[in-house]
Structure 1
Amino acid sequence: MEITACEVDSFTKWPHAELLVTNRSSKASTYTVQVEFVDAAGKRLSEAYAVTNAVAPGQQSSMTAQSLTQVTAKITCRIMEVNRYAS
């Protein structure tokens, strides 16, 4: 699991993280990811979840975790939890 972008939308002020998952297992898998958005001091501003279904073995899938909480500070995105389930 990799964060490929972490930003706040200039219009909505909603933070989002672009994620890339690689299925390194031998079975098609569904992934759920929890991301938190923190400010420069490490204070949690919001969180979001993302899901991608039926990623084939050896394949990659992009997903977006977006919060609906408006944020005006510069953010850092952190992956809090990743779960993989065989599809």
Structure 2
Amino acid sequence: MEAGVVRDEDMGKLRMAGAGAAIVGSAVSAELAWLHARELSAFGVICGGATPHCGWCVSAAGLAALAAGLLYAQWRAARPAPVAIRSDDA
């Protein structure tokens, strides 16, 4: 095997590992965003109102989108290729 070449079955494993890591990262970021919002609510300000969203909110959404994209890419790669049916009658 050539250096730097990733086989299809290995790429599927990498996609799933990346999606799992992104899901965990998104869950941790969402929890930290929730804790940040609770901390600020004591001052009467909640993240996302008149104030901009914190980095935890943005990272939770971004990592969730990344996980969805990786899972979609794996789903597309795992589907069998369509088979063209040719008619020799014509």
Bigger Rg, structure 1 or 2: 2
TM-score by structure 1 length? 0.19
TM-score by structure 2 length? 0.19
